[in-house]
């Protein structure tokens, strides 16, 4: 019963993680359409201050989604243990990478709650504003780097190894395994080339939505496996 309960909880967490991730994108895209036009702290910080509540909601969603995905990863490991000893590496990299992504969310929340407010209160052209712009740019760069490392670990290694195990076992449909290979490449590895090759800068968003489909599908698999395991038990 303990294993079945873990499967059920992890399946629900996987589906909720996907829903919250999409919700965060929708809030950012619909609620703050001018955020994409921000090219530096001079335009970025005022947008954050004007839309503090909206962007804070989106960022908290981006913190909660990977947190739920961590619990989902425990279920993935439980279901795919027959895939080999590398499943320990898979769940470790998956969890560590998601912790990096959560850290990126907290860095951006600090910018919203602290730097943007201080920037708005400072006099235009003052040394304080200039300093806050430098700090904000540093935080933004740090957040991007932390996110890239997190995605490389969680998707590039974690999802990759989970997906290879799916292809070697009968735990989940093979198409989920192949989709996971795409996620590992498009979300985990190609974005690392973004700083050198601008063509790869926006590819992470495609990988993000592919990851949403992957993790929600895995959540459904865990829930169905629980149901099938229960129905397979002999009646007393």
pLDDT at 129: 86
Q: Which of 52, 75, 66, 54 is nearest to 20 (CA)?
A: 66
Q: Give me the phi and psi of 133, to 5 degrees please.
A: -65, -40
Is the dihedral angle over the CA atoms 68, 69, 73, 79 positive or is it negative? positive
Q: Is the pLDDT confidence value at 37 over 80?
A: no
| Number of domains within the chain | 1
Supply the pLDDT for residue 152.
Answer: 96
Confidence of residue 145 (pLDDT cuts 50, 70, 90): very high
Q: What residue has token string 């996971």?
A: 180
DSSP string, the chain: -HHHHHHHHHHHHHHHHHHHHHHHHHHHHHH-GGGGG--SHHHHHHHHHHTHHHHHHHHHHHHHHHHHHHHHHHHHHHHTGGG-THHHHHHHHHHHHHHHHHHHHHHHHHIIIIIHHHHHHSPTT-HHHHHHHHHHHHHHHHHHHHHHHHHIIIIIIIIHHHHHHHHHSSSS-HHHHHHHHHHIIIIIIGGGGTTT-GGGTTHHHHHHHHHHHHHHHHHHHHHHHHHHHHHHSPP-
Compute the distance between CA of residue 206 and CA of residue 187 in angstroms, rounded to an integer: 8
Instruction: Tell me the residue range of the domain where 113 lies.
Output: 2-232
pTM: 0.90
Cα–Cα distance between 109 and 87 in angstroms, integer?
Answer: 33
Report phi then psi at 233, rounded to 5: -70, 140
Residue range 163-171: mean pLDDT, rounded: 95
pLDDT at 230 over 70: no
Highest mean pLDDT among 34-48, 66-80, 128-142, 188-202: 66-80
């Amino acid at each position: 019963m303990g294993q079945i309960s873990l499967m059920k909880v992890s399946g629900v967490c996987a589906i909720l993680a996907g829903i919250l991730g999409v919700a965060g994108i929708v809030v950012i895209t619909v609620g703050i359409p001018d955020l994409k036009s921000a090219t530096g702290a001079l335009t970025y910080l005022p947008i954050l201050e004007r839309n503090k509540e909206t962007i804070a909601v989106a960022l908290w969603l981006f913190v909660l989604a990977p947190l739920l995905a961590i619990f989902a990863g425990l279920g993935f490991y439980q279901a795919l243990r027959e895939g080999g000893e590398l499943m320990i590496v898979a769940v470790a990299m998956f969890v560590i990478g998601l912790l990096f992504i959560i850290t990126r969310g907290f860095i951006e929340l600090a910018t919203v709650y602290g730097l943007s407010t201080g920037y708005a209160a400072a006099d235009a052209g003052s040394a304080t504003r200039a300093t806050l712009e430098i700090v904000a740019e540093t935080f933004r760069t740090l957040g991007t780097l932390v996110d890239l490392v997190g995605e490389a670990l969680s998707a590039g290694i974690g999802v990759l190894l989970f997906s290879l195990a799916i292809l070697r076992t009968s735990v989940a449909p093979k198409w989920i395994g192949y989709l996971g290979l795409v996620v590992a490449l498009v979300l985990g590895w190609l974005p690392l080339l973004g700083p050198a090759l601008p063509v790869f800068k926006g590819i992470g968003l495609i990988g993000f939505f592919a990851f949403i489909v992957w993790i929600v599908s895995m959540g459904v698999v865990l829930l169905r496996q629980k149901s099938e395991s229960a129905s397979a038990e002999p009646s007393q």
